[in-house]
């Protein structure tokens, strides 16, 4: 009976953790659905890419904080799909990417969090002055030398996938016609 009790507790813990992660995922993205309302109602689109194949975990989430104007609810979660991250409903302001992370099978099945530098504006941090489509870049996770049991990394800017390639991936989603038009217009602007 002891083994059954242990298994039962193990499954309860898994259920509680799964419920917590699901709740966190919904709140970190604000429960919103991107590209379902007209462009004018959803604010700006912020998107980018982080190649994490050399990281000790996969890439499941990323958060960004609004620095100016400072607001108590100024933390934004993003959708992450195959290293592409994106979100709409971003207001005008100065933003700083805060953390990203994912699940590590290599390190015994734990969640890992990677913090962005706390000070200074990084290349990835957007400044949104007017509503639109804002590409923050494509990056590669690069492991750096570190003492035992410590993870150090940097993000190196890469050219592929390009802004156009990522916009084409976004266009494959079910989008409101005004988003489709705006994204296609942005692709034409880049190609000129």
Report whether 59 contacts 100 (CB < 8 A). Answer: yes
Instruction: Read off the pLDDT of each residue in 127-155 and give the average, rounded to a whole number.
Output: 87
Enumerate the β-bridge partners of residue 141: 155
pLDDT tens digits, 41-82: 888 999 999 999 988 888 999 999 999 887 777 899 999 999
From residue 66, give the alpha-carbon distance in Å to each of 42, 95, 117, 122.
Answer: 17, 4, 15, 14
pLDDT of residue 31: 56
Joined together, the tokens standing for residue 1 give: 């009976």
- State the pLDDT confidence band at 137, using cuts at 50, 70 and 90: very high
CA distances from 83 to 14, 42, 86 (A): 26, 23, 10
pTM, full prediction:
0.79
For 85-101, give the DSSP string.
Answer: EEEEEE-SEEEEEEEEE
Range name among 22-36, 56-70, 86-100, 147-161 with the lowest pLDDT average: 22-36
Q: How many CB atoms lie within 10 A of CB 103?
A: 16
Identify which has the larger pLDDT, 48 or 18: 48
**Predicted confidence band of residue 25 (pLDDT cuts 50, 70, 90):** very low
Instruction: List beta partners, residue 138.
Output: 49, 158
Q: Residue 19 pLDDT > 60, yes or no?
A: no
- For the cut 50, the answer to whether the pLDDT of residue 13 exceeds it is no
pLDDT of residue 46: 96
pLDDT of residue 176: 87
The percentage of residues in the chain with a pLDDT greater than 90, rounded to a whole number, is 47
| Section 119-137 average pLDDT | 92
Q: Which of 9-18, 102-111, 117-126, 181-190 has the lowest mean pLDDT?
A: 9-18
Q: Provide mean pLDDT across the span 146-152.
A: 73
**Token pair listed for 86:** 């994106």
CB–CB of 139/49 below 8 Å?
yes
Digit-coded pLDDT (tens) for 92-107: 999 999 999 998 876 6
Q: Is residue 102 within 8 Å of 60, Cβ to Cβ?
A: yes
The pLDDT > 70 percentage for the chain reads 81
Q: How far apart are CA 49 and CA 159, in angstroms?
A: 10
Integer-rounded Cα Rg, in Å, for the chain is: 19
């Amino acid at each position: 009976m002891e083994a059954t009790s242990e298994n039962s507790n193990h499954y309860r813990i898994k259920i509680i953790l799964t419920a917590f992660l699901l709740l966190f995922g919904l709140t970190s993205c604000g429960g919103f659905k991107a590209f379902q309302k007209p462009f004018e109602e959803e604010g700006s689109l912020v998107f980018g890419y982080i190649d994490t194949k050399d990281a000790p975990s996969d890439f499941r989430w990323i958060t960004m904080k609004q620095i100016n104007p400072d607001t108590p609810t100024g933390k934004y979660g993003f959708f992450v799909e195959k290293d592409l991250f994106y979100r709409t409903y971003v207001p005008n302001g100065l933003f700083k990417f805060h953390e990203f992370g994912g699940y590590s099978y290599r390190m015994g099945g734990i969640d890992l969090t990677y913090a962005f530098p706390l000070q200074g504006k990084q290349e990835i941090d957007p400044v949104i002055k007017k509503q639109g489509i804002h590409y923050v870049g494509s990056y590669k996770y690069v492991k750096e030398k570190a003492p035992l049991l410590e993870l150090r990394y940097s993000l190196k800017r890469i050219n592929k996938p390009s802004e156009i390639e990522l916009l084409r991936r976004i266009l494959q989603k079910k989008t409101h016609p005004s988003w489709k038009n705006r994204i296609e217009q942005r692709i034409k602007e880049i190609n000129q």
